[in-house]
Amino acid sequence: MISDIVDWLSCPHCATALIVEESSGVRLLCEEGHAFDVARPGYVSLLAGGGVPGTADTAEMVAERAAFLGAGHYDGIADLIADLAADAADGAADDDSCVLDLGAGTGYYLARVLDRVDRPGIALDVSKHAARLAAKAHPRIGAVVADAWAGLPVRGRAASVLLNVFAPRNPREMRRVLRPSGRAIVVVPEPDHLRELIAEYGLMAVDDRKPQRLREQFADRFEVESEHPCKTVLSLSADEVSRLIGMGPNAWHERAEEVRSGGAATVSVRAYVLSPR
């Protein structure tokens, strides 16, 4: 719920603290009087203005993602993330902090982490359709609509665990909101991720240089503490393949309609545990 996470949020306009105010509806108020309505499903938009980036997942993509993840195909990835997050939370030994997921989508991975880590969780995503689902994914999740590429409406050193799974990265802001004893867990696709679907449907491929680029992107502010490859081959029905394509970036979306048969899909990702420099 929003009340679980409000202490960790800050006003996107003036960066002061926010409090929950309940009168006819629920809203967040900052010290300077900026107000933000909490939508009925329990998420709040803290977008600073300037519109929503074109990378926000649409309602259709979010629905496909919820259905695909709900079927358990990525449970192995969720288990790995939850294990790494539980270790990170133990290491941080700091009760007064939250878990922050940047580009949280439906809140699937964050919910799995909160089952293991007894802290509040902020699901931040620029898509309100994603935030609406994330708000319901776990009782301790509060969902916030915000742009991960802009300044985050999150207080400095709020998080002891930061998740970033297949989502935009902002190393400068990630460093600011993470405690010195905390860890960031960043999950990215490997070059062979979904290789069968890339070959068959001409989908966007993962760049071979991605691992190197990721290291370079974080090098100034984070150290790579450990790396965890996670690979499995799924056997999917035509509907499941279509869902897997449909939940991905917009360019893929029309291809979902071309799917006629199921088949194998290699799932190959790598989780990086990063410690702040």
Ligand X SMILES: C[S@@+](CC[C@H](N)C(=O)[O-])C[C@H]1O[C@@H](n2cnc3c(N)ncnc32)[C@H](O)[C@@H]1O
Two tokens, residue 250: 């917009």
Instruction: Find the shortest distance in angstroms from Cβ 254 to ligand X.
Output: 17
C-alpha to C-alpha distance for 219 and 214, rounded to whole angstroms: 8
Contact set for ligand X, span 104-143 (CB under 6 A): 104-106, 108, 125-127, 130
Two tokens, residue 7: 């202490």
Q: Does 46 bind Zn ion (CB under 5 A)?
A: no
| Closer by beta carbon to ligand X, 29 or else 63 | 63
Q: Which does 167 bind (CB under 5 to 8 A by kind): ligand X, Zn ion, none?
A: ligand X
CA angle 231, 62, 102 (to 5 degrees): 70
Q: Which 3 state secondary structure label does DSSP give 240?
A: helix
Instruction: Find the shortest distance in angstroms from Cβ 101 to ligand X.
Output: 7
Instruction: Find the shortest distance in angstroms from Cβ 15 to ligand X.
Output: 18
CB-based closest residue to Zn ion: 11
| Count of residues near Zn ion by CB under 5 A | 6
Helices (H), 49-107: 59-70, 75-92
Instruction: Find the shortest distance in angstroms from Cβ 97 to Zn ion.
Output: 23
C-alpha to C-alpha distance for 237 and 227, rounded to whole angstroms: 31
Residue 38: strand pairing partners: 44
Q: Does 11 bind Zn ion (CB under 5 A)?
A: yes
| Closer by beta carbon to ligand X, 127 or else 160 | 127
Q: Which does 11 bind (CB under 5 to 8 A by kind): ligand X, Zn ion, none?
A: Zn ion
Residues in contact with 88: Cβ distance below 8 Å, sequence separation at least 6, in sequence order: 160, 161, 182, 183, 185, 273
Instruction: Find the shortest distance in angstroms from Cβ 178 to Zn ion.
Output: 23
Other CB atoms closer than 10 Å to residue 167's CB: what's the count?
Answer: 20
Given 28, 39, 56, 186, the residue binding ligand X (CB under 6 A): 56
Q: Does 34 bind Zn ion (CB under 5 A)?
A: yes
Given 13, 73, 157, 169, the residue binding Zn ion (CB under 5 A): 13
Other CB atoms closer than 10 Å to residue 199's CB: what's the count?
Answer: 10
Nearest one of 161, 176, 75 to 120, comparing CA atoms: 161
Q: Does 27 bind Zn ion (CB under 5 A)?
A: no
List residues near ligand X by CB under 6 A.
Answer: 53, 55-57, 65, 103-106, 108, 125-127, 130, 147-149, 165-168
